[in-house]
Structure 1
Amino acid sequence: MTNLLAAVTVAQEEGGHNPLLPHTSELIFGTISFAIVLILVGWKLVPQIQKTLAERTDAIEGGLKRAEQAQADAQSTLKDYKAKLDEARHEASRLREEAREQGAQIIAEMREQAQAEARRVTEAAQATIEAERQAALSSLRAEIGTLSVELAGRVVGESLDDSARQSRVVDRFLEELEGRASSQEPISS
């Protein structure tokens, strides 16, 4: 820089025109042109540039705000999802427990029904057995009565054709048999 100043000073002393310094008319025209360009840039371009910068700033800040909002919404949705998932797990657990209880209740009812059916079948079988026993006893009494009448008729030597007589003889005979049977059985109850 000192060399440049020295060259300008030497050129002025020699009285000549310095090639580094413009003529005065050029200097005035250049200054006016620069001022016009500066005014146009300040008047037209600077507001446009500021507007574009403001839009970019808003877009960036708005994007950040939207991103923050989206993240907050995502966190909220995640919390809701976890809460609903926990609720669904509890509900599923409760339903499983209810199903177990209902299953146990159904099994108990089925057992009770099966036992009632078994009792009914047993009682019906006992009633049938008792009816068959009574029928067998009646049949056996009738047959024993017929055989007794024949045997008594042979022993006594007279005919027992009279039905009233036969009835008395059979009843007496059966009473004697029952009396002997009951005297021979030990008393257990």
Structure 2
Amino acid sequence: MKVTQGLFEFNWNFLFAIITFLVLFGILKHFFFEKVHNYMEARSKSVQDTLDHASKTSRKAEKKLKAYEKQIAGAEEEGRQIIQDARKEARVQADRIVDEANEEAHQAVMRSQQEIERQQQAARRQLRREVGDLAVEAAGRIMEKEITPEDHKEIIDKVLKDAGEKK
């Protein structure tokens, strides 16, 4: 005996299995799938919001980084400018100090030259007085006696010799 089975046979077990499947699917859909789906949607939205917030924060941080880099570059440039200005000021002060020192040296030289000239004039006046005194003394001796040209020469030599000893 041969038992054959067809491709599709109607079976009451099959019908109860399909009805059980549909009831179970309806119950799961109503109580479980909707809640899981809503939870997944909320979680997806939360993750997307977090990513958007992180992206915004990253852009803000990037902008601030660029601003800080600009400020640092500006500060470096300002520092170079301050150093350059300080060098210029130092050169100006050094030149001024050198000019003042040169002026003081020039004035000291001028004062020294004036002092030398005053001393030379005083020495000339002194010399004139002494020469005048010597001339008067020589004339007085000449007047004391009558002299010959040899005596005259001898008196002058003696006056000059006395003047040399006085110095």
Regarding TM over 0.5, the answer is: yes
The answer to whether residue 93 in structure 2 is matched with residue 106 in structure 1 is yes
Q: Distance in 1 between matches of 2:39 and 2:138?
A: 141
Q: Does 1:77 align with 2:64?
A: yes
Matched residues in 1 for 2:38 and 2:117: separation? 113
- Aligned positions of 1:145-160 closer than 5 A: 145-157=132-144
Cα distance, 1:47 vs structure 2:
4.3
- Residue pairs, 1:99-138, within 5 angstroms: 99-138=86-125
* SS in structure 2 of the partner of residue 73 of structure 1: helix
- What are the Cα deviations for residues 89-137 of structure 1, in whole angstroms up to 9, with x where unaligned? 3222222222222122112211211111111111111122122222222
Give me the whole-angstrom Cα distance separating, in 2, the residues matched to 1:47 and 1:139: 134
Q: TM-score, normalised by structure 2?
A: 0.63
- Cα distance between partner residues in 1 of 2:64 and 2:35: 41
- Name the CA distance, whole Å, in 1 between partners of 2:142 and 2:42: 142
Please list the CA deviations of residues 41-80 of structure 1 after superposition, one character each: whole Å capped at 9, or x if unmatched: 4444444423432232122212221222222223222322
How many percent of aligned residue pairs carry the same amino acid?
23
Q: Tell me the equivalent position of 2:129.
A: 142
- Quick check: 1:52 aligned with 2:39? yes
Given the alignment, which residue of 52, 67, 72 partners 2:54?
67
Q: 1:132 to 1:40 in 2, by over 3 A?
A: farther
How has the CA–CA distance of structure 1 residues 67 and 153 changed in structure 2, closer, same or farther, with 3 Å as cutoff?
Answer: same
Q: Relative to 1, partners in 2 of residues 1:153 and 1:40: Cα closer, same or farther, differing over 3 Å?
A: farther
Distance in 2 (CA, whole Å) between partners of 1:43 and 1:139 is: 140
Mean CA deviation greater in 120-129 or 130-139: 130-139
> RCO greater where, 1 or 2, for CA within 8 Å and sep 6 or more?
2
Deviations 1:3-36, CA, capped at 9 Å, x for gaps: xx95xxxxxxxxxxxxxx87x9xx69x949x84x
Structure 1 stretches lacking a partner, 5+ long:
7-20, 159-189
Say whether 1:96 aligns with 2:83: yes
How many residue pairs align between the two structures? 141
Give 2:65's aligned amino acid: L
- 2 CA distance for matches of 1:50 and 1:155? 154
